[in-house]
Amino acid sequence: MPLPRPSSTPAALPPDTRRRLPSADRRQQILEGSETLFTTRGFEAVSMGDLASYLGVSRPTIYAYFTSTEAILTALLDTRLAEFETRLAPFLADLRASGSSARPFGELFLLLVNERALLTLLQSGGGPVFAARRQAVLTELERRLETHFPPPPGISRQPFLLACVSQLLQGMATNAVNTRLGTAEIKQLAATLDRFVNAGLQGVLS
């Protein structure tokens, strides 16, 4: 589900952004400004000139760090996915250690909901670039579940089962972020999803 576009776009940053910055700081400034524009205007609607105007710098300054908006997008997604991995890896390790009786799909949903920046960025474009990256995220989540999640007997004979689970969890997490559900509503939704997924697994594998 695409994110609703705000009625207004963010104002340009103050003029002092033109001051000389260390290379690492300037690169980070470009990434942060790009993420703001991508998630408010939509990725396909943002040009390098738009970004330069927003940051108050020249286009050559941006080109010194990135060759295109696609290159910026790749850097942003790589960063957000790496951050997600630092939280996902210990979660899955704990899940694997807890034994085959554990089915904390609700907890995985809550983990995804907390990745607001990643989910929002993934929904900020509708073209093939974003379609491919969204699918890559889902495929990786499915692979990690299959590797670390102690599956019920017979799940290996259901090749699309974990794909359904990862699609459902990611889609519902994105919807929760888009609609800005409150904490109590998110917890209630997590509990419902956990029961729903468990019931579905039992029905398919029985």
- Given pLDDT bands bounded at 50, 70 and 90, which one contains residue 190? very high
Positive or negative, the Cα torsion across 139, 150, 164, 118?
A: negative
Contacts of residue 9, defined as CB under 8 A and 6 or more positions apart, other chains included, come to 37, 40, 41
- Is residue 6 over pLDDT 80? no
The 8 Å CB, 24+ separation contacts for 127-135 are: 127/43, 127/44, 129/43, 129/70, 129/73, 130/43, 133/73, 133/77
More confident residue, 93 or 1: 93
Could you give the dihedral angle defined by the CA atoms of residues 108, 111, 116 and 122, in that order, rounded to the nearest 10 degrees? Answer: -40
Contacts of residue 133, defined as CB under 8 A and 6 or more positions apart, other chains included, come to 73, 77, 122
Instruction: Identify whether the C-beta of residue 145 lies closer than 8 Å to the C-beta of residue 88.
Output: no
Over residues 139-183, the pLDDT tens digits come to 887 777 777 665 555 565 666 777 788 888 888 999 998 888 899
Which amino acid is present at 27? Answer: R
Which amino acid is present at 87? Answer: R
- What is the reported pTM? 0.75
- Is residue 186 over pLDDT 50? yes
